[in-house]
Amino acid sequence: MNNEIEKLAYTPLKQLSNRVWRTYQGGALIDRWKRSESELDTNEPEEWIMSTITARGKGRPADEGLSLLVTPQGKISLKELIASNPSRFLGDFLANKYGTTGVLIKMLDSNERLTIQVHPDKEFAKEYLNSDFGKTESWYILGGRQVNGEPSAIYMGFKQHVTPQLWEKLFREQDTEGMLDCLHKFEVKPGEAFMIYGGVPHAIGSGCFLLEVQEPTDYTMRVERITPGGLSIEDELIHQGVGVENMLKCFHYETYSAEEARKQWMVTPQVLQSSDQFSFKSIFNEVHTSCFGLKELDLTGTFKLDTPDSFFVGVVYEGEGIISCNGNEVSYTQGDEIFFPAAIEEVRFKAATTSKILLCYPPSE
CB atoms closer than 10 angstroms to residue 262? 15
Q: Each residue of 209-252: pLDDT tens digit?
A: 999 999 999 999 999 999 999 999 999 999 999 999 999 999 99
What is residue 350's predicted lDDT score, i.e. its pLDDT?
98
pLDDT at 310 exceeding the cut of 60: yes
Q: What is the H or E stretch that residue 69 is in?
A: strand 68-71
Phi, psi angles (nearest 5°) of residue 167: -60, -45
pLDDT at 5 exceeding the cut of 90: no
Q: Each residue of 105-161: pLDDT tens digit?
A: 999 999 999 999 999 999 999 999 999 999 999 999 999 999 999 999 999 999 999
- Average pLDDT on 263-281 reads 97
pLDDT at 88 exceeding the cut of 80: yes
Half-sphere exposure of 250 (CA within 13 A, CB side): 34
pLDDT band at 327 (very low <50, low <70, confident <90, very high): confident
DSSP per-residue letters across 16-45:
PP-EE--SS-B-HHHHHHTT-S----BS--
Q: pTM of the prediction? A: 0.96
**Total residues belonging to the chain:** 365
- Average pLDDT on 300-318 reads 97
Quote the mean pLDDT of the chain: 96
pLDDT at 204 exceeding the cut of 90: yes
pLDDT band at 256 (very low <50, low <70, confident <90, very high): very high
What is residue 1's predicted lDDT score, i.e. its pLDDT?
56
Instruction: Let me know how many helices (H) and strands (E) the chain has, helices first.
Output: 11, 25
pLDDT band at 57 (very low <50, low <70, confident <90, very high): confident
The residue type at 121: D
Q: Each residue of 19-54: pLDDT tens digit?
A: 999 999 999 999 999 999 999 999 999 999 999 999
What is residue 235's predicted lDDT score, i.e. its pLDDT?
92
What is residue 183's predicted lDDT score, i.e. its pLDDT?
98
Nearest to 104 by CA among 119, 115, 117, 93: 119
Q: Each residue of 160-181: pLDDT tens digit?
A: 999 999 999 999 999 999 999 9
